[in-house]
């Protein structure tokens, strides 16, 4: 069983890139499930329903979210209608959409996919991600064969802590949000596949996907700025996790294409 996880899809050009490049990669790697964080598919904030649909058609099975999930108003209705399009599960009750899904992989296995947002470094804290994941695992016990968690968080310490807290209890736990891939892909002692951040699927020639000159100016002048997606070469980053029949991770490998 293999799960391919792709880092934050940033901008319209990145969506178009995956439409072309992802099917070729899938024909080579042949993962049974593909998860992509899509909260920035429209650029600096949010994702439009059509972009989400294009990502599904390109080969993604589940789209996870983060702090920008609700950046585009139309996406709220899309979340309500599509169970494999997720927002963080630790948003308050009544928030549009769902925070996790149990889907069927290509080999028929049941996979619990959870989207969570961290609290450290964000201005508006959500429910405790640790407690939220505990409740989901208890509620869905016996209803899935494998589990994968996208922990969308700012601080590396919070991501590492989440990995350690649930080592041996989930098959895969990966971080998103900071757009820079980390070099710590590993199988934790309890058998959980882990990486602190998958990185970004987006333009290489920018600052985390945004035009460099805009970000540099904002940092130097301290004045508000309107972020625009950078142009040029697109690169996709993520990780491939190979799992045993028992749900333990056997190998974690960074992927860049």
According to DSSP, residue 124 is labeled S
Give strand pairing partners of 35: 5, 62
Cα–Cα distance, 218 to 227 (Å, whole number): 10
Nearest to 89 by CA among 70, 117, 61, 68: 117
Per the annotation, the verdict on 68 as an active-site residue is: yes
Q: Rg for the chain (alpha carbons), in Å?
A: 17
Residue tagged active-site, from 68, 152, 177, 179: 68
Whose tokens are 């309107």? That residue is: 226
Nearest to 74 by CA among 82, 66, 115: 82
CA angle 5, 55, 130 (to 5 degrees): 40
**Catalytically annotated residues:** 68
């Amino acid at each position: 069983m293999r799960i391919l996880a792709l880092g934050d899809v940033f901008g319209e050009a990145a969506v178009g890139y995956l439409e072309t490049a992802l099917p070729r990669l899938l024909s080579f790697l042949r993962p049974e499930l593909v998860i992509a964080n899509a909260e920035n598919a429209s650029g600096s904030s949010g994702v439009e329903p059509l972009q989400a649909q294009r990502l599904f058609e390109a080969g993604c099975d589940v789209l996870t979210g983060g702090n920008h999930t609700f950046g585009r108003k139309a996406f709220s209705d899309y979340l309500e209608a599509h169970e494999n399009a997720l927002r963080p599960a630790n948003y308050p009750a009544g928030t549009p959409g769902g925070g996790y899904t149990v889907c069927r992989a290509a080999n028929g296995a049941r996979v619990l996919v959870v989207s969570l947002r961290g609290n450290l470094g964000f201005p508006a804290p959500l429910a405790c991600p640790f407690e939220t994941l505990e409740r989901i695992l208890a509620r869905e016990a016996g209803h899935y064969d494998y589990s994968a968690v996208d922990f969308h968080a700012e601080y590396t310490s919070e991501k590492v802590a989440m990995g350690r807290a649930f080592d041996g209890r989930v098959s895969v736990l990966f971080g998103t949000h900071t757009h820079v891939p980390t070099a710590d892909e590993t199988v934790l002692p309890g058998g959980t596949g882990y990486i602190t951040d998958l990185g970004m699927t987006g333009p290489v020639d920018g600052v985390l996907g945004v035009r460099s000159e805009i970000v540099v100016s904002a940092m130097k002048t301290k004045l508000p700025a309107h972020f625009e997606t950078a142009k040029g070469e697109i690169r996709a980053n993520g990780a491939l996790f190979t799992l045993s029949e028992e749900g333990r991770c056997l190998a974690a490998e960074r992927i860049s294409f």
